[in-house]
Structure 1
Amino acid sequence: MTVLAIALAGVLGFQLEAMGMLSAADDAAGRPDVIMIDTIAKLESLEQSAAVFKHDAHTKALKDQGMSCESCHKKDEKGNLSLTFNRTAGEELSASQLKDIYHDGCITCHVKTDEKGFKTGPMVGECRGCHQAEPEAVAARVDAGMDNMLHFIHWDSKVIKADPGKDTNCGACHKKAGEEDSWRFSEAAKTEPVNELFHNQCVTCHQSLAEKKAERTGPVQCAGCHGDKETAERSAELAKDLKAMGGIVPRLPRKQPDAVLMAPEVKPEAADQVAGMAGVAFDHKSHEAKTDSCLACHTSGVNAKMDTSFQALHDVADPASCVGCHAVEQKKPECAGCHALRPAAKVLTETSCAACHNVPAENAEGVKLVAAPEEVREAEAALIINARPQAPVYVAEADIPEFVNIGAIADKYQASKMPHRKIVLSLMKGMQDSKLATAFHGTPEAICAGCHHNSPATKTPPKCASCHGKPFAVEGRPGLKAAYHGQCMTCHTEMKLEKPAATNCVACHEKKTN
């Protein structure tokens, strides 16, 4: 043990992972680089509060002095940078040894930094400079993720070496061919936190590319992935790249199917015993293009078997389920005007179920699809998908009443002359490019159900007064005036319409002069 470490042991007999180099005036209320260092807590009780370490502040201070990451981080025998302080990953040390490493390493660096005339961190005896019970700076990070565009930047990169004998470079990150997410969902994840797996994989690669002065590399500082401003700037840059590519991200080269038959897979001898709903021909290619990441659906990993239980696929509150994802889409202004007032309990109806569950049990060759080989199932699913309508079907414009006069309860105001045709045509325009609307608005009259919500889908629905009386006809059912206002105003609000304002009564019905 060095003389300095011996002196420190008497003064700082506790965990000291690292020290900040910013003054209190420089500290922000929340920083993406703040790490609360409590390594020794895994071995023994801490004598002081965890040390507050501002990583990016230290990185800048080292750079200003012409120093590098290796001042704090060692490299292993393969040349990979270890993310632990002054030791290699997996190196087992006692609590006493850890204290010596940090006290000696950190404060020695502070002393040398001070001697060079640079702003430095706490010295011997200035314990509270790092060990703060109520830290002046706290961690505030945005989640980092690998969306499709960022993923494309990696697998299309020319600075990442291609796999031996292949034209892809997936092996640089994913160690097992055919199991592209194995490095994240592997045995190591059971013993090593997933965030450490990411940092060891990503940061060390970015650092090695930076050292090689590669044409393009990724961030090595915390803010680069976890800072509000930095991630916003990165997203803007990626958006420019995407725009230059025509707005379409190439599909990952994973040989994933274009079409999938979502139905139970059974052995041929048990095929006749299968009963229940018809299978679902799932347009995998189309859905893949609509998501930012495969993990939007494959929440347990791309290669993990999906939970195909009824609840997992039909949970209206879970955006990772089919119904839940559709419910999120229905919150868009062009959809929400109608769907906001439709109760979630009525999402699953015979008509809506049939929009997905329409694959016959037998294929063209008379073989039970549930027992057919995977390629047969995919081919049958593709045929059904290609046969689906490619554009929504509408009620003929001539069959839409141009105006509807609402005057059943006119009192202080004149009857409202509602521009019925204009409203319906506007709704049609909002859904004309939506494949989701095309799939689920299976009949021309389906659009009518947006307002005429509890009557059969027809071009001549009953009047609102047939259900909404005055006063309440049934407990919980609004009276006619409340029904009209609730329907119209909610629709305008959900569709983000500025006019007519909900408080502007005469915009819909003029006030009587007598």
Structure 2
Amino acid sequence: MANGKRILRLTAIVIALAGVLGFQLEAMGMFDAASETAGRPDVIMIDTIAKLESLEQPAAVFRHDLHTKALKDQGMSCESCHKKDAEGSMTLAFDRLEDGARANMSASELKDMYHNGCISCHVKSEEKGFKTGPKAGECRSCHQERPEAADRVPAGMDNMLHFVHWDSKVIPADAGKDTNCGACHKKAGEEDSWRYSEAAKTEPLKDVFHSQCVTCHESMIEKKADRSGPVQCAGCHGEKETAERAVELAKNLKAMGGTLPRLPRKQPDAALMFHGEPGEIGTIVAFDHKSHEAVTDSCLTCHVDGVNAPLNKSYVAMHDASVDTSCVGCHIKEQAKPECAGCHAARSTVKQPSDATCGVCHTKVGDDLKPALTAEAPKEMKQAIAQRFVDARADKRPEAVAIDDIPDVVTIGTISDKYQPSKMPHRKIVLKLMEGMKDDPLATAFHSAPKAICSGCHHNSPAYATPKCSSCHTQTDGNRPSLKAAYHGQCMDCHKQMKLEKPASTNCVACHEKKTN
């Protein structure tokens, strides 16, 4: 009897230890699994049930690319987990055509669907001799308290990727046409529209891309096509993978001559944008669509939310200097280039522009044109008017300042004490600035006045005048830098912004020799 009780006690202790050890091992597996998610772009948190009720366990961590590879190794495909709708597009939901809320599934039904689907697949994989995932009872291997967040780079259809699809011989041409736009742009007659498909009107664009793009890529792989797109998350969202793809696409572009062909989307070369009082036409902007198209990575840079009006924003928003995708914000971003930043970095971006600056883009409309610019006027007529203004603007190139009119050397010796007066190579500097902007359409448009370039240094005096810096920069005025600080700040900051290695800021004698006496 005593031996029997002792055995029962030992058995209970062993069971308890096994339970504790099992919990610890599972917990260790949880932390090991969490560490494996670091830096992965494919981590997905399955929290569908949270839309219906509070979760009993933390959301499940799902590594998508890991499962994609496992399915491929077993001769299985994406359809093992994702169903296809009537149009053949793969849905993103697991084992159903719609997500839990829209499919009217209860939390209990969703839980059973995930557990039965995932665990049964893991069991079958193990029976086939493959390394597999957690099975019944190993809850914490999936439900983790503190998993690492996914590390994804943004993905999108830029102009280069758009061209790769349009130029593809794998994607068949539309019936009776020499283009294949209809393969992606589903609605007939709207091949020139930005919209990817009818679904893009009601569903998030990312969902449309994931379901229809991955479906197409998967079908290309099944057909053993020469080329296909990625079906794994890392193919579009992995930092290393996207960098390698960018290098490869750049090589292809270089082989084509370095210029990306313009996509045939029936887009206008020029378009009119209006602003003014409601119901009347105030000033218009003749927008050079063709030139802007050539310097943007994607149509969605301007056509946000898929609306064909640039930016889909108000007049104020299009002039918001703090937003890179506004007109003014984009121009300011261009000013950060070294050949521009020397002057523009020191200039205020919130200062009200002059009428001459506004007039580069904005044109007052005469009474003779107003009837042609009403809402009822044909768009072809408006485009023709826009093109006329754009062409006229292109003909107004800035007049070059005669070299002989540019002072060769300017001596700055107002405050020379320990050093000799500085002999600034004025003409050499001006010609260098002019050279940096001569082939830049944006720079030439906004520096149309012959001496506009002079205002970078002559910021508070006429360009044609000899500035007297001491008029503003006195030694006692605390609101402005002193004269010495103003001179050094102007020159040194310009050199730094233009990334000039010489003269170094610490090399005083490079600009003014030291006095011997």
TM-score normalised by length of structure 1: 0.86
Instruction: Answer whether contact 1:209 1:217 (CA < 8 A) is retained.
Output: yes
Conserved 8 A contact 1:264-1:370: no
Structure 1 unpaired stretches of 5+: 1-19
SS at match of 1:355: coil
Matches within 5 A, 1:362-373: 362=367, 368-371=371-374, 373=378
Deviation at 1:92, TM superposition (A): 4.1
Give the CA deviation at 1:35: 0.2
- Structure 2: how far apart are the matches of 1:92 and 1:189? 23
CA contact 1:82–1:88 (8 Å) conserved in 2:
yes
Please show how residues 286-325 of structure 1 align to structure 2 within 5 Å.
286-304=291-309, 307=312, 309-325=314-330
2:419 corresponds to which of 410, 413, 417: 413
Out of 272, 281, 289, the position equivalent to 1:284 is: 289
CA distance in 2: counterparts of 1:213 and 1:23, whole angstroms: 37
Report the residue type matching 1:180 in the other structure. S
- What RMSD over aligned residues (CA atoms) do the two structures have, in Å? 2.7
Cα distance, 1:26 vs structure 2: 7.8
Distance 1:216-1:324 versus aligned 2 partners, 3 A rule: same
**Range with bigger deviation, 300-309 or 279-288:** 300-309
**CA shift for structure 1 position 24:** 4.4
Residue in structure 2 matching 1:434, options 416, 433, 440: 440
Deviations 1:292-317 (A, max 9, x none): 11121112314357546331221111
Matched, 1:210 2:216: no
Distance 2:276 2:267 in 1: 18
Q: Tell me whether 1:113 sits opposite 2:125 in the alignment.
A: yes
Code of the residue aligned with 1:126 in structure 2: it is E
Compare 246-255 and 371-380 and name the one that shifted more. Answer: 371-380
What is the one-letter code of the residue matched to 2:293?
E
Deviation at 1:352, TM superposition (A): 0.5
Deviation at 1:445, TM superposition (A): 0.7
Residue 488 of structure 2 corresponds to which residue in structure 1? 485
In structure 2, the partner of 1:453 is: 459
- Please tell me whether the aligned partners of residues 261 and 281 of structure 1 are also in contact (alpha carbons under 8 angstroms): yes
Mapping of residues 97-496 of structure 1, within 5 Å = 97-135=109-147, 137-176=148-187, 177-178=189-190, 180-183=193-196, 190=202, 192-263=203-274, 274=281, 276=282, 278-304=283-309, 307=312, 309-346=314-351, 348-358=353-363, 360-362=365-367, 368-371=371-374, 373-387=378-392, 388-389=394-395, 391-458=397-464, 460-472=465-477, 475-496=478-499
Contact 2:408 2:428 in 1 (8 A): yes
Per-residue displacement from partner, 1:210-236 (whole Å, max 9, x unpaired)?
A: 111122111100000000011111111
C-alpha contact 1:210 1:217 (8 A) present in aligned 2: yes
Could you report, residue by residue, the CA deviation over 1:44-71 in whole angstroms, capped at 9, with x for unpaired residues?
Answer: 2110000000010111122223332233
Alpha-carbon distance in 2 for matches of 1:380, 1:368: 12
Code of the residue aligned with 1:405 in structure 2: it is T
Q: Distance in 1 between matches of 2:305 and 2:209?
A: 16
Structural mapping, 1:69-108, within 5 Å:
69-89=78-98, 91-108=103-120
Deviations 1:54-97 (A, max 9, x none): 01011112222333223323344554433322233464432222
Uncovered stretches (5+) of structure 2, i.e. residues with no partner:
1-28
- Whether the aligned pair in 1 keeps the contact of 2:304 and 2:310 (CA below 8 Å) is no
More divergent stretch after superposition (478-487 vs 91-100): 91-100
Q: Are residues 1:43 and 2:56 paired? A: no
Cα deviation 1:358-389 (Å, max 9, x = unaligned): 354255xx665533543333223222322333
Q: Distance in 1 between matches of 2:490 and 2:285?
A: 34
Equivalents in 2 of 1:332, 1:305: separation in Å? 25
Larger Rg: 2
SS at match of 1:83: coil
Count of aligned pairs between the two proteins: 481
- TM-superposition CA deviations, 1:307-336 (whole Å, max 9, x none): 463312211112222111110111111001
Letter matched to residue 350 of structure 1 = D
SS in 2 for 1:279: strand
Letter in 2 for 1:173: C
| Structure 2 counterpart SS, 1:117 | coil
Q: Secondary structure at the match of 1:86?
A: coil
